[in-house]
Structure 1
Amino acid sequence: MKNTILPYCWLLLLVGMAGTADAQKVRTTKWESGLLDHRTKVGVWEYYGITPSKEKVVVQRYDHSTKQLVYFRPNGEMRYRTQTSPGQWAHRVVDRPPLFIGGDAALAVYTTQLQYPQLAQERRIQGPVTIGFVVDTLGHATSHRVLRSIGSGCDQEALRVARTIPDEWIPAQIGPAAVAAEYELTLTFRLAQP
């Protein structure tokens, strides 16, 4: 009996290891690279962007297991409207801006879902709509509002899309402290050329 159980235990161990190998795999795309475990991002992922000179660079490293930002690529002086005390706001330089996990490429998954309003198409209205919203100290987006308007239903559509973006934000930071900051998102409506 003893000899039968031992090989059976090894067989279970090997089957379990094979299941783990099948469950975990590396995913690499143009915009991201990291480990998936049963379709869930685990460990440190790298997210990429393209510079104005067309160079591919790492814009973020985010540890999905610990839910911590490991690295972000600063982009010049970062001045944001931040909350200085309850109800009080001022434009200040931040050490880290509010960031969407995965960078602009991940954010584009949501922002490309604009539906051009029929009234705007009929009136040949096009251009940018800027939506502002607060990313609080826990990474939640609230208080969405239109900062730049073009009307004819485009403002409402831009607000709708901005509100569909999940709460996968990393709050702004000044020194060691997270601060509530207003993020500005510009969505552009362009008519197809005839």
Structure 2
Amino acid sequence: MKITILKSGQLCLLLGLAFTANAQKQRTTKWESGLMDHQNKVGIWEYYGYTASKEKVVVQRYDHSAKQLVYYRPAGDMTYRAETRPGQWASRVVDRPPLFVGGDPALAAYTTQLQYPQQAQSRNIQGQVVIGFAIDTLGRAADHRVLRSIGGGCDQEAMRVARTIPNEWIPARIGTRAVPVEYELTLTFRMAQP
């Protein structure tokens, strides 16, 4: 048996490495998988979605350390109003749509915070409010506005929720260039069935 005597500085360094290694933990849910380091996502995370046949598929891989999209699952050609030249907007098929980091399940964490306005409930107002906003080349949302209204306080509530979504957008691309686009977010108000 070999015994090694460590100086106090070496012991602290050795203990520090052990604590650092233990700080990173794997987190896996139905919608995501990756490493956590002190409550922060680090490294490459996979985000999942489910097909119509309930098959689990990877919809995004995002490197949280480098703040960079590694992979996304294309959903076919998508048309957005994009700023093609400064101040000039046109409908265009984009090569990569704007994406929310974590995909639709991560976005749903915010959109499910809707509170049904009492005025809408008492008047039995139901339907979909569409909020439009621009996503710039840095992934920031701005210029929120109501595109489809149903009234009864629902428009204001939809606007409130849309503005709580953090600026964790991955900008759209045409070719290799990030482009500002207009994004439409649909929020549904439906009365609970007795």
Same fold at TM > 0.5: yes
Provide the C-alpha distance between the structure 2 equivalents of 1:146 and 1:85, rounded to a whole number of angstroms: 25
Secondary structure of 1:57's partner? strand
Query: Structure 1 stretch 12-21 or stretch 158-167: which is displaced more?
Result: 12-21
Could you tell me which residue of structure 2 aligns to residue 116 of structure 1?
116
Provide the C-alpha distance between the structure 2 equivalents of 1:60 and 1:92, rounded to a whole number of angstroms: 23
Could you tell me which residue of structure 1 aligns to residue 79 of structure 2?
79
Q: Between Structure 1 and Structure 2, how many residues are aligned?
A: 192
Provide the C-alpha distance between the structure 1 equivalents of 2:63 and 2:47, rounded to a whole number of angstroms: 11
Q: Which runs of 5+ in 1 are unaligned?
A: none
One-letter amino acid matched to 2:170: I
Q: C-alpha offsets along residues 89-110 of structure 1, whole Å, 9 cap, x if unaligned?
A: 1110001000000000110110
Could you tell me which residue of structure 2 aligns to residue 193 of structure 1?
193
One-letter amino acid matched to 2:176: P
Provide the C-alpha distance between the structure 2 equivalents of 1:11 and 1:84, rounded to a whole number of angstroms: 59
One-letter amino acid matched to 2:128: P
- Cα distance, 1:18 vs structure 2: 2.1
- Cα distance, 1:7 vs structure 2: 4.2
Could you tell me which residue of structure 2 aligns to residue 88 of structure 1?
88
Could you tell me which residue of structure 1 aligns to residue 97 of structure 2?
97
Provide the C-alpha distance between the structure 1 equivalents of 2:171 and 2:138, rounded to a whole number of angstroms: 7
Could you tell me which residue of structure 1 aligns to residue 22 of structure 2?
22
Provide the C-alpha distance between the structure 2 equivalents of 1:126 and 1:86, rounded to a whole number of angstroms: 39
Does structure 1 residue 158 correspond to structure 2 residue 158?
A: yes
Provide the C-alpha distance between the structure 2 equivalents of 1:60 and 1:159, rounded to a whole number of angstroms: 27
Provide the C-alpha distance between the structure 2 equivalents of 1:52 and 1:79, rounded to a whole number of angstroms: 23
Q: Which runs of 5+ in 2 are unaligned?
A: none
Secondary structure of 1:105's partner? helix
Secondary structure of 2:62's partner? strand
Provide the C-alpha distance between the structure 2 equivalents of 1:113 and 1:54, rounded to a whole number of angstroms: 25
Identical-pair percentage? 75
- Cα distance, 1:164 vs structure 2: 0.5
> CA RMSD, aligned part only?
1.6
- Cα distance, 1:54 vs structure 2: 1.5
One-letter amino acid matched to 2:86: P
Could you tell me which residue of structure 2 aligns to residue 12 of structure 1?
12
Provide the C-alpha distance between the structure 1 equivalents of 2:50 and 2:145, rounded to a whole number of angstroms: 29
Could you tell me which residue of structure 2 aligns to residue 179 of structure 1?
179
